[in-house]
Amino acid sequence: MAKSGVLGYPRIGAQREWKKAIEAYWAGKLEEKELDRQLQDIRLGHLQKLKNKGIDFIPVGDFSMYDHVLDTAAMFGIVPKRFAAYNGGAVPKSVYFGIARGTKEAAASEMTKWFNTNYHYIVPELDGVMPELTENKPLLAYREAKQKLGIEGRPVLLGPLTFLKLSKGYAEQGIDAWLDRLLPLYVRVLQELEREGVPWLQIDEPILVTKLDTGDVRRLRTIYETFHSSAPRLKLMLQTYFESVEAYRDVIALPVHGIGLDLVHGLEDNLSAIRTIGFPADKALGAGVINGRGIWKETLHIKKALLDELSTLVPPEQLIVQTSCSLLHVPISVQGETNLAPELRDALAFADEKLDELVLLARSVTGGGNGTDEDIQAYDSSALALSRSEARNRHAIRQAAAALAVQDPQRNRPYAERSVIQQAKWRLPSFPTTSIGSFPQTPEIRKARQLWRKGEWTGEQYSGFIRQQIEHWVRIQEEIGLDVFVHGEFERTDMVEFFGEKLAGFAFTQNGWVQSYGSRCVKPPIIYGDVAFQGAMTVGETQYAQSLTKHPVKGMLTGPITIMNWSFVREDIPREQIAYQLAYALRQEVEALEEAGIGMIQVDEPAVREGLPLKEAKQADYLAWAVRAFRLTTSSVKDETQIHTHMCYCDFHDMMDSIDAMDADVISIETSRSHGELIGSFEAKSNTYRKGIGLGVYDIHSPRVPTVEEMTDVIDRALRVLNPNLFWINPDCGLKTRGFEETVASLRNMVKAARVARDTYSLKL
């Protein structure tokens, strides 16, 4: 029988105990020792579950207080110099969380997407830092599991090539110098693990599925030859995920004991390489056949057929049945999801259910009987009802979306002409100020929503409460002096969930939480059927806010690509078709807002970049239909209606042509958290964006209130390469997670910075 393995398990706890403990610590309600105790209880509980399920290779060291990339940086003492309280040695929690969240004295490090997932990592900053091994985190995790639970775990370590490629603060030609600094520290980690008697170490190198140059291949060889010669008795599982590996011949020639391949998202190319080139007989194959990022039950007879083929190419004793990636990206368990329709619930598999799939598949590989064929047949039959359901067979919706998809959606006039019409209508000042959409969701707002959902408040009571909040914040925006208002989104729990609840084809879990960044957990909707518009979703609140002020109030929608990328989506039709169905539904909402007199409409697409395929050959096609979906949503409006969009926390410099092709009148893009690097890309290319653009002038994910001078510096730098006549001033993102006082203080400073800019650049406009 083949062995089973898991690459990582969700950190958050079945009831988000992890989140609650960390946030209580941040709030000063939990002592550090009690935080450590609670986190250990959660961590050990997860490991015990994996042991009880019968998983052979149990990951240890994948658990984190915030982010595993930040953990790796902390392990090597890589702390930005602005955190002056750090003087070497183990990184204290105050500094660790400061890097992630910022402090009053120092800005947080950049946060960006982990490859093409919905998870965010903290970007290590190497500039001016001399690394040192502060503590051997994989060794501590291994000892804990063995001493507390008797588990011989497989420690997880982020590989040096991936770590360096995801870091910043060094010139491109400086990567070899940094590898020379880090490699001896990694070697110490491995040697200590070897002396401890650790049998296997999982080294994650997901960077190997991206484009590699000859220098990367040389570095890879240097790294793993050094590891092998320095710790020859420690078995290394070189783990890749999210796509097929590049340089397959070079990878399988490395002196490691096992190689993990994604046979879900990288199935076609990885399997082709195994078939045509072969796989070394002296290495274990980590066959990632269980989707670590999806929530649907696997069709196990298809997976078994794949494993049976692999068993003819790789000795069965060298085959490890694994998840395609860490289970960090899925909820913990389907158990307790009692509100879902039976045909949908029976088609789902979250993290715990995937463990059962792994064990069943591993038991079936060698054809040892034990009823596995019958078990697999029974398992597969349970998910068939969903495919026959009415929700997946709305033919009118499919036909309408397909008809739109073949059109070339365009605004009536090009931007240069309609911008003149819009300025004549709105008469905004230079450097207009606005916010991105949401304002703080206070405990009172959350309590009101809970009372309404429980039926203790009527819909009329809840609607009245929301209107009070809207009026309150309209008055605050007037007092602060913003130019373009938002209604605040107080009625919305989440920017995707809100729309999903009002569209057909969506379902929602009771406890399907996943980690997005830090302690921020989201509960993605499930797009399980054909998507259909069922009536106006945002008109009432937006129209009410507009009735309270003469300032323009933006209608706020989440775009089709973001709704899709931030949901768990069906897998029986292409994602492109799902995007067009969403665009067709949202187009009807855009038209309803315009009909109601709303002349500025923001369609947010923060997740366009994160859906970009990792392989260059697949990117152009994705961007083409993503842009088409946005334009299908927005192109039917009048010339004077101003379309806004917003994007954040991704590297956008290589897709500005696609952003331009979306043809929004105004785009706001995060730049402060990444310390102005998008501005740098404009400077390097000596080009400018020729539509309205706002580069976020302060980071809303940090509790600190930025100074006027800090924001003025961002504005001044941006205006070296961007047209002042087209420049907007706004925060990086929505303000839902921030407190009242810091939000008002930050916006006041932002408006002051805008006034400074107007005075400074008045002669140039």
**Is 701 part of the annotated catalytic residue set?**
yes
Evaluate whether 439 touches 735 at the Cβ level (below 8 Å): yes
Tell me if 657 is assigned to a ligand binding site.
no
Tell me if 325 is assigned to a ligand binding site.
no
In one-letter notation, the amino acid at residue 232 is: P
Torsions phi, psi for 57 (to 5 deg): -105, 105
Of 120, 329, 644, 701, catalytic: 701
Tell me if 489 is assigned to a ligand binding site.
yes
Task: Find the helix packing angle between 395-405 and 575-595, rounded to 10°.
Answer: 90
Distance CA 341, CA 506 (A): 11
Evaluate whether 209 touches 240 at the Cβ level (below 8 Å): yes
Could you please report the per-residue DSSP string of 441-504? --HHHHHHHHHHHTTSS-HHHHHHHHHHHHHHHHHHHHHHT-SBB--B-TT-S-TTHHHHTTEE
Helix (H) or strand (E) holding 520: strand 520-522
Tell me if 748 is assigned to a ligand binding site.
no
Phi-psi region of 686 (alpha: psi -120 to 50; beta: other; left: phi over 0): left
Q: What share of the chain is helix, strand, coil (3-state, %, to 5)?
A: 45, 15, 40
Q: Is residue 741 helix, strand or coil?
A: helix
Tell me if 343 is assigned to a ligand binding site.
no
Tell me if 337 is assigned to a ligand binding site.
no
Tell me if 625 is assigned to a ligand binding site.
no
Residues in the chain: 765
Tell me if 113 is assigned to a ligand binding site.
yes
Radius of gyration in angstroms for the set of CA atoms belonging to the chain, rounded to a whole number: 26
Tell me if 457 is assigned to a ligand binding site.
no
Tell me if 616 is assigned to a ligand binding site.
no
Q: Is residue 338 helix, strand or coil?
A: coil
Which residues, including other chains, have CB under 8 Å from residue 53's CB and lie 6 or more apart?
352, 355, 356, 359
Which residues, including other chains, have CB under 8 Å from residue 34's CB and lie 6 or more apart?
none
Cα 55 to Cα 8, 49, 163, distances in angstroms: 12, 9, 28
Tell me if 17 is assigned to a ligand binding site.
yes
Distance CA 462, CA 452 (A): 6
Tell me if 521 is assigned to a ligand binding site.
yes
Helix (H) or strand (E) holding 101: helix 93-101
Tell me if 16 is assigned to a ligand binding site.
yes
Token readout for 382 is 């349970």
439 DSSP assignment: -
Evaluate whether 603 touches 559 at the Cβ level (below 8 Å): yes
Tell me if 650 is assigned to a ligand binding site.
no
Token readout for 513 is 């939480």
Q: How many CB atoms lie within 10 A of CB 703?
A: 16
Could you please report the per-residue DSSP string of 128-192? T--------HHHHHHHHHHHHH----EEEEE-HHHHHHT-BSS-GGGHHHHHHHHHHHHHHHHHH
Phi-psi region of 702 (alpha: psi -120 to 50; beta: other; left: phi over 0): beta
Q: Give 646's strand partners.
A: 668
Q: What residues act catalytically?
A: 701
**Binding-site residues from annotation for 5-methyltetrahydropteroyltri-L-glutamate:** 16-19, 113, 520-521, 566, 610
**Binding-site residues from annotation for Zn(2+):** 646, 648, 670, 733
**Binding-site residues from annotation:** 16-19, 113, 436-438, 489, 520-521, 566, 604, 610, 646, 648, 670, 733
**Binding-site residues from annotation for L-homocysteine:** 436-438, 489, 604
